[in-house]
Structure 1
Amino acid sequence: MSTLSKVVQLTAEEQKLLQNATELVPLLMEYGTKIDKDMHIPEGIIEKVSSAGLFKLRTPKKYGGYEVSIQAMIEIVSEVARGNGSVGWVVQNINGNNYSSSQLLPSEVVDKIFKQEKEVKFCSVLQAIKAVVKKVDGGYLVEYGRWAFGSGSKHATHALLNLKDASAMQQDPKMKLAVVPMDEIKIVDDWHTMSLKGSASNSLEMNYVFIPNEYVADENFEEVDETRLQHLQGEDRYKHYLFLITSITTGISTILGLARGAVEHFIERAPNKGIAMTIHRSQAEVGHIQYKVGLAAMKVESAHLHINRSIDILEDYVQRGELLSQEDFVQIQTDIGYAAMLCSEAVEMLMVESGGSAILDSNRLSQIFRDIRGGANHAFTTASTCLELYGRVLLGLPPQHIVTISSAHLVRNQSVQQEQAY
């Protein structure tokens, strides 16, 4: 299916990883019902994903990873999600978290973590439900902490956790991110959902756990000097845009793959599927079905265009070593939320036209519908939040989105831009 977007430029290595993902798709489809029934991904599937190199997409090359581009990350993870949403969700989160952790911590700590024999897999939660944390000699004592939605926690070796809860974040939106080995954390079996069942996005708890200073990264950045940005090389050029990259890749990769899978599934079945209580023996021959398929496909293709635009905007600023304007920063976030909405709408349209059998748990489209609904509710991809952000800024009001607010040090002051224009 054509994406109607620019030709995606991937390196030979990235193409091979994409092919590895494609080869897993039939197996992931086959295990879809079992993954939902068991509420987790079988270890055998995790091992195959690992053997395909798909947990090391954004891991730095010096630690045996591939450091794929943002574009490649989107394409590869969406291909995994075309096979199964829960697996795609876990793959995108572990990759994003591995990358974030490698960029946030001191190099000697990163060396210690990533050079261990066991493959490193990070889960993360970027805001605590409740956190009682005290600063003590040499680090922080978590007297009690609880974090919801630790996607991939059953397969993780470490967790990246914000030591601040909602109340603390409202007072100061800068995160305090701690790296904690999973053997210090209790996984609470509370992931009983209608959506992304196999992602095992359980709550995480800690009681009286000490975390050394060097394992805690304060998001307490000063204003970034553009002259310094212009001298950065390689992956260092992206370091300052860490949370924006997370916003681009976390959630939308899986959502795009699910929507692509839904269109593919419907098209494959339509020629041999009739419409109940009618004389139609083939959906493919019915005008209103043809219209819905065309519209659904265009929504998915349009979503891909918005995702590509968000990547292009960021890459342009990174290559020029310049701070983003607030307008473009917000555009990126809105593009992602809007793309999620388009994909979700496309799947819902196809679900409506799929008849009564579509409500069966074993129906693949039913699973896609449930999974994409949950994915689109993620805080990074909630359309209402992103569109509110866009509308506020267009109307001259300050942003309300935590990612935008906490990244103020990376956004060029609009008044300065206007002064320089005259």
Structure 2
Amino acid sequence: MSSDDRKLHRQAALVTGRPAPHVPPRRQPAHRIKDDAEAIATAKVLAREFAEGAVARDRERRLPLAEIERFSQAGLWAMTIPKEYGGAGVSGATLAEVTAIISAADSSIGQIPQNHFYMVEALRLAGTEEQKRHYFARILDGDRLGNAFTEIGTKTPVDFKTQIAERDGKLLLNGQKFYATGSLFAHIIVAVAKNERGRVQIVFIDRATPGLELIDDWSSFGQRSTGSGTVTFDNVEVTAFQVVDHDVVFEQPTPMGPLAQIVHAAVQVGIARSALAETISYVRAYARPFFELDIEHGYEDPHSIHAVGDVSIRVHAADALLARAGHLLDAAIAEPNERTVAAASIAVAEVKAYGTEAAQLAANKLIELGGARSTLEAYGLDRFWRNARTHSLHDPARWKYHHIGNYYLNGKLPPRHGAI
């Protein structure tokens, strides 16, 4: 894409969007999470806070700037940094559970750090010691990484036209990204680009770098406040220190793919949990009995009782699959090889596929059992279905079933990439 083309795309994005909000520099270092138990406890406290304004943020498409600052300053965005670099090095199971807890309160907030954790893992696996020490220290202090991965208008989502190339002795980054979840809240934008040899690289760029522009033009009907809009790079100058090879992490068995995907799976499980809880709360408070029944309360309706029982089983099954996937991911992190990484990838695919179905079922039943009154805008109950449906499109569940079936039926190992 030429400079003129990028300017045209930028102008088009600004027609439907607006410039990125200001993200001030950190005023103080973030709290440092000590262990898994503290991470879970902290997530529960934050979830209660984030749930308070979830309906209004969704209705108004209000970006959760204060909430994200609270989230990272509480130390949870640094919880996967290895212990030898000062982090808590929490387990994959804990990462998944923290994500599910936060997503049950507000699934947009739960999704926002997904690519942050992905890039932390990329640094762990492929960064030099100097890069790890530098960026891990910044993240521990509270800096957030934002995603600039996927492009729009290419043949596939992983077709990259964004390029990093040497010109006149300088490394220059040029291109445009969309679906840039979390970029509006980030201190460091992490771009995925091809170098002159065709290898995929990840590039860490400070937010204020000249030539980098963020545009708030995400207009989806779901996950409305994830900040998943446009990022453009116009001759952004970087150094070799800011570049990490991305291809290398998939050229051998690593837990990169299942770690990335377990966060997405946990978002769906969190939505399912919350939709079920809302269903129980709403039906008990407001649902009226069907006029053919001789009962006093809507929650005595035998069909409603059966439906809540059915959804409860499915949500509990999704919970169990998420915990199982977390433990298999931890085994792959401890001893990465073809067998452990494949087992983790398949387990994560199972919970992603099943959790997606559970979330959409729970969201549908919430409205069905709640009745006509449950559709009123004031309750905001439609957000569960909109968020579950939108988030499910990150990668198609139908391909999860394909890889799962091929693994169990034919012994075929799943491919190694960030979506499995």
Alignment TM class, shorter chain as reference: 0.7 to 0.9
Residue 140 of structure 1: how far off its partner (Å): 3.8
- Aligned-partner SS, 2:172: strand
Residue matched to 1:115: 137
Say yes or no: does 1:263 pair with 2:299: no
Quote the Cα distance in structure 2 between the aligned partners of 1:16 and 1:222: 30
* Runs of 4+ residues over 6 Å off in structure 1: 222-225, 397-400
Residue matched to 1:175: 200
- Aligned-partner SS, 1:55: helix
Quote the Cα distance in structure 1 between the aligned partners of 2:315 and 2:126: 34
Paired letter, 2:225? G
CA distance 1:121–1:215, shift in 2 (3 Å): same
Quote the Cα distance in structure 2 between the aligned partners of 1:223 and 1:105: 14
Kindly indicate whether the alpha-carbon contact (under 8 Å) linking 1:276 and 1:355 is maintained by their aligned counterparts in 2. no
Correspondent of 1:78 among 100, 120, 123: 100
Task: Give unpaired runs (5+ residues) of structure 1.
Answer: 1-10, 226-238, 408-422
Say yes or no: does 1:366 pair with 2:382: yes
> Between Structure 1 and Structure 2, how many residues are aligned?
374
Kindly indicate whether the alpha-carbon contact (under 8 Å) linking 2:102 and 2:109 is maintained by their aligned counterparts in 1. yes
Say yes or no: does 1:32 pair with 2:54: yes
Correspondent of 2:266 among 211, 234, 253: 253
Residue 65 of structure 1: how far off its partner (Å): 3.2
CA distance 1:111–1:133, shift in 2 (3 Å): same
TM-score (norm 2): 0.77
Alignment of 1:209-248 (within 5 A): 209-221=236-248, 240-248=254-262
Alignment of 1:174-193 (within 5 A): 175-184=200-209, 185-193=212-220
Residue 303 of structure 1: how far off its partner (Å): 1.5
Residue matched to 2:316: 301
Quote the Cα distance in structure 2 between the aligned partners of 1:246 and 1:151: 14
Residue 199 of structure 1: how far off its partner (Å): 1.1
How big is each residue's C-alpha offset from its partner over 1:180-199, in whole Å with a ceiling of 9 and x where there is no partner? 22223211221112111111
Task: Give unpaired runs (5+ residues) of structure 2.
Answer: 1-32, 153-159
Quote the Cα distance in structure 1 between the aligned partners of 2:162 and 2:66: 38
Quote the Cα distance in structure 1 between the aligned partners of 2:255 and 2:413: 18
Residue 160 of structure 1: how far off its partner (Å): 2.0
Residue 147 of structure 1: how far off its partner (Å): 1.2
- Aligned-partner SS, 2:219: coil
Residue matched to 2:368: 352
Quote the Cα distance in structure 2 between the aligned partners of 1:209 and 1:105: 21
Quote the Cα distance in structure 1 between the aligned partners of 2:338 and 2:414: 20
Correspondent of 1:195 among 193, 197, 222: 222
Residue matched to 1:415: none
Residue 294 of structure 1: how far off its partner (Å): 1.0
Paired letter, 1:334? A
Matched-pair identity in %: 17
Correspondent of 2:306 among 286, 291, 296: 291
Residue matched to 2:109: 87
Residue matched to 2:398: 384
Residue matched to 2:165: 135
Residue matched to 1:151: 181
Quote the Cα distance in structure 2 between the aligned partners of 1:395 and 1:15: 38
Quote the Cα distance in structure 2 between the aligned partners of 1:195 and 1:100: 28
Correspondent of 2:122 among 86, 100, 124: 100
- The answer to which of 200-209 and 211-220 deviates more is 211-220
Correspondent of 1:312 among 310, 327, 334: 327
Residue matched to 2:156: none
Quote the Cα distance in structure 2 between the aligned partners of 1:29 and 1:326: 35
Residue matched to 2:232: 205
Residue matched to 1:47: 69
Residue 281 of structure 1: how far off its partner (Å): 4.7
Quote the Cα distance in structure 2 between the aligned partners of 1:362 and 1:215: 46
CA distance 1:326–1:26, shift in 2 (3 Å): closer
Quote the Cα distance in structure 1 between the aligned partners of 2:190 and 2:366: 37
Residue 400 of structure 1: how far off its partner (Å): 8.6
Residue 327 of structure 1: how far off its partner (Å): 5.9
Residue 287 of structure 1: how far off its partner (Å): 0.7
Quote the Cα distance in structure 1 between the aligned partners of 2:297 and 2:80: 44
Kindly indicate whether the alpha-carbon contact (under 8 Å) linking 1:306 and 1:336 is maintained by their aligned counterparts in 2. yes
CA distance 1:268–1:384, shift in 2 (3 Å): same
Quote the Cα distance in structure 2 between the aligned partners of 1:336 and 1:395: 18
Alignment of 1:271-286 (within 5 A): 271-275=284-288, 278=291, 281-286=296-301
Say yes or no: does 1:18 pair with 2:44: no
Kindly indicate whether the alpha-carbon contact (under 8 Å) linking 1:59 and 1:95 is maintained by their aligned counterparts in 2. no
Paired letter, 1:270? V
CA distance 1:222–1:341, shift in 2 (3 Å): closer
